[in-house]
Structure 1
Amino acid sequence: MLDLSRVNFYLKLSRPIIWIIILPYYLFPLGGRLDLLATWRFWLGLLYFTFPVSIMMFGINDMADTDVDKYNPRKAHDYFGNQASKSDLFGLWKVIMISNMIPLGIMSIITADWIFYSGYFIVALSLNILYNLKPFAFARKAPWDLPFTPVGFLILVTLACHLNQVPLPKAGPCLFYVSSTLTNHMIAELLDIDCDTLGDKRTTAVVIGKAYTCAFIGALIVVQLLILTPLCNIFKAMLHCGGDASILVSYISQSFFRGQAACQSWEGSRSFLLSMYARYTAKFSFVVYAFAKGILA
């Protein structure tokens, strides 16, 4: 019998609200190909980029971070996972394997290409293990935490292109993918910096501190703006970058000017919710535009 409480538990682990950050890297390289909307390949890939990709990424992360997440009020919110114990996570490996192998198996059978999809799964799983789990745990060994997210998303972009039989993106879009995923990664590290410090998790943000992390994120946003402007126009580029900037400005205001205590739940505050909605609205609008026009393909 299906245990709905466990289904809800695993769904929360996959961070559905962050799917909107992951799905663009499926849609960006397919931009300008609206004909793909009429194909099974497109919709199968889109579904794969929701729960299966996310449960592998965030599920393995939660298995590795039970010692840190107990300090993290962000994990107490429904949209950012769970403060799960090791016993709560029993059976998670089975969920990760089944949720990934079924859609990848369907892709392999229908395309008659077992080698690519098997290779993708091995590489993606290996990256997540190297990043999160001991004895490797590069997530805790700054600055080696930085390259994993961009590399992982470039692999996802390769999967999207291969499945939908479109060429790989040009250099400009790839540079944007790297800078934008690194921005997302550093924003996540910034939000967790106080709690990671308490849990002795040495991320890049913990090592360089709040001020330099904010400056680094600001520089990455400028890099995105410089890459995007020649590909579309300054106003569309500012729409995307403004979403990231809204989170950064809200964090700086809350942390540096309002005396927020370590690990206080800023994520439950009104300023965070407003900046989060502004960020996601801006990103959604930009993703629709980029997919329709093909500027990042």
Structure 2
Amino acid sequence: MLRYLLVLSRPRFWLYLAGPVLVGVSYAADTVGELFAPAAVVLFAYFLLPANVYLYGVNDVFDRDVDETNPKKEGREARYQGGTAVAVVVAVCGLLLVPVAVPLPEQAWPYLAGWFLLATEYSAPPLRFKTTPLFDSLSNGLYILPGAAAYAAIAGSHPPLLAVAGGWLWAMGMHTFSAIPDIEPDREAGITTTATVLGKENAFAYCASTWLLSAGVFAFVDYRFGLLLLAYPVLVFGIRRLQVDVDRAYWWYPAVNTLVGALFTLGGLWGVVRA
């Protein structure tokens, strides 16, 4: 069961939640000591593993019928196996957010509450955002909320609104890009998403547009952020120009996102060192 839970948590995507924590901490900290504050360590640990077990566990529970025909569940991911023990572990991982949040400054609470709501209702009824076009994309701002919470926990104040907006737009594009390989399985299962409504070519255009907007918004925070985020629309153009199979390109993005996130974090760390 432990091996199954590890696969269920999508190790390739662990940094999609934990990485923003590192980014948020690096820009909130004024001293090297704050980088390793208890709040930073606890948030990173929670969003590295328990949060991923909860997020993807809820997803797999409510997608078990759809996933029967999804080729992505063969090899790199696992189909939901059911069982009371698995359900209990997933629920406990979600509830662990309470003791994580309680000691933190209250400025961090709205971001953590927002993450829990979106992480649950993305897949679970009654809202099940993933089956409502546009809302499936919008709700994936959940991936940048751990970073906002970490910033608030260390700085004691809310993160810059433009940084949150730029990150949200990036997450929207990332979600729809990841849904492109699922277009046919979702259509066969009767699932309607932004990608199934737009179709493959228009979905690529949607991703490029949201990523371009993200770069533009981040440029108002710092022009270097905007330049860095331009990598995403450029990649979309390259994928379409070179006719790269999206099922193959999809698996590049954990590495791409890790690299971009690392550069963001190094920028924050440089500010701490210089101070």
Q: Which category of TM-score, normalised to the shorter sequence, fits these structures?
A: 0.7 to 0.9
Q: What is the rounded CA distance, in whole Å, between the counterparts of 1:62 and 1:222 in structure 2?
A: 31
AA partner of residue 26 (structure 2): G
Task: Kindly indicate whether residue 88 of structure 2 is the aligned counterpart of residue 94 of structure 1.
Answer: yes
Distance in 2 of aligned mates of 1:175 and 1:120: 13
Distance 1:18 1:244 in 2: 21
Structure 1 counterpart of 2:8, from 10, 13, 17? 13
SS at match of 1:197: helix
Q: Residue 148 of structure 1: CA displacement?
A: 1.5
1:9-48 aligned within 5 A: 9-32=4-27, 33=29, 34-48=32-46
Identical aligned pairs, as a percentage?
Answer: 17
Whether the aligned pair in 2 keeps the contact of 1:240 and 1:286 (CA below 8 Å) is no
2:128 counterpart of 1:130: no
Bigger mean CA offset, 62-71 vs 159-168: 159-168
| Distance of 2:4 and 2:120 partners within structure 1 | 22
In the TM superposition, residue 242 of structure 1 has moved relative to its aligned partner by 1.6
- Letter of the 1:56 counterpart: Y
Partner deviation per Cα, 1:179-233 (whole Å, 9 max, x = no partner): 1111111111123222211211100110111111111111112112212334333
Task: Provide the rounded CA distance (Å) in 2 between the counterparts of 1:133 and 1:184.
Answer: 21
Larger mean Cα displacement after TM superposition, 126-135 or 44-53: 126-135
Amino acid at match of 2:259: A
Gaps of at least 5 residues in structure 2 are none
1:36 Cα offset (Å): 1.8
Q: Which runs of 5+ in 1 are unaligned?
A: 1-5, 261-265
Superposition deviation, residue 106 in structure 1: 5.3
Which residue in the other structure is 1:279 paired with? 256
Distance in 2, matches of 1:28 and 1:98, equals: 27
Equivalent pair of 2:111/2:149 in contact (CA under 8 Å): yes
Report the secondary structure of 2:137's partner residue: coil
8 Å CA contact retained: 2:26, 2:35 = no
In structure 2, which of residues 226, 231, 245 is the aligned counterpart of residue 242 of structure 1?
231
When residues 93 and 160 of structure 1 are mapped into structure 2, their CA distance, relative to the original with a 3 A threshold, is farther
Code of the aligned partner of 2:222: C
- CA displacement at 1:121 relative to structure 2: 6.8
- Residue 54 of structure 1 corresponds to 52
Instruction: Verify the 8 A CA contact 1:243 1:283 in the aligned structure 2.
Output: no
1:97-176 superposed matches below 5 A? 97-102=91-96, 104-105=98-99, 108=102, 111=103, 124-150=115-141, 152-153=142-143, 155-176=145-166
| Distance in 2 of aligned mates of 1:73 and 1:155 | 30
TM-superposition CA deviations, 1:98-136 (whole Å, max 9, x none): 23434642553xx3889x86x877654443343212343
Tell me, yes or no, if structure 1 residue 71 matches structure 2 residue 60: no
Cα root mean square deviation, aligned: 3.3
Counterparts of 2:12 and 2:215 in 1: how far apart (Å)? 24
- AA matched with 1:242: A
Structure 2 counterpart of 1:82, one-letter code: A
Q: Tell me how far 1:247 sits from its aligned partner.
A: 5.9
Deviates more, 1:90-99 or 1:204-213: 90-99
Alignment correspondent of 1:83: 79
Offset at residue 155 of structure 1 (A)? 4.4
TM-score (norm 1): 0.76
Answer yes or no: is the 8 Å Cα contact 1:41–1:163 preserved in 2.
yes
Match of 1:263 in 2: none
Amino acid at match of 2:203: T
Which amino acid is the alignment partner of residue 232 of structure 1? D
CA distance in 2, matches of 1:215, 1:227: 18
CA contact (8 A) 2:148 2:164 kept: no
Deviations 1:146-188 (A, max 9, x none): 32222x3464345324433532111221211211111111111
Aligned pair count reads 269
Task: Tell me how far apart the structure 1 counterparts of residues 146 and 37 of structure 2 sit (CA, whole Å).
Answer: 19
Q: 1:203 is matched with which residue: 182, 189, 193?
A: 193
Q: 1:15 to 1:227 in 2, by over 3 A?
A: same
Query: In 1, Cα distance between the equivalents of 2:96 and 2:130?
Result: 28
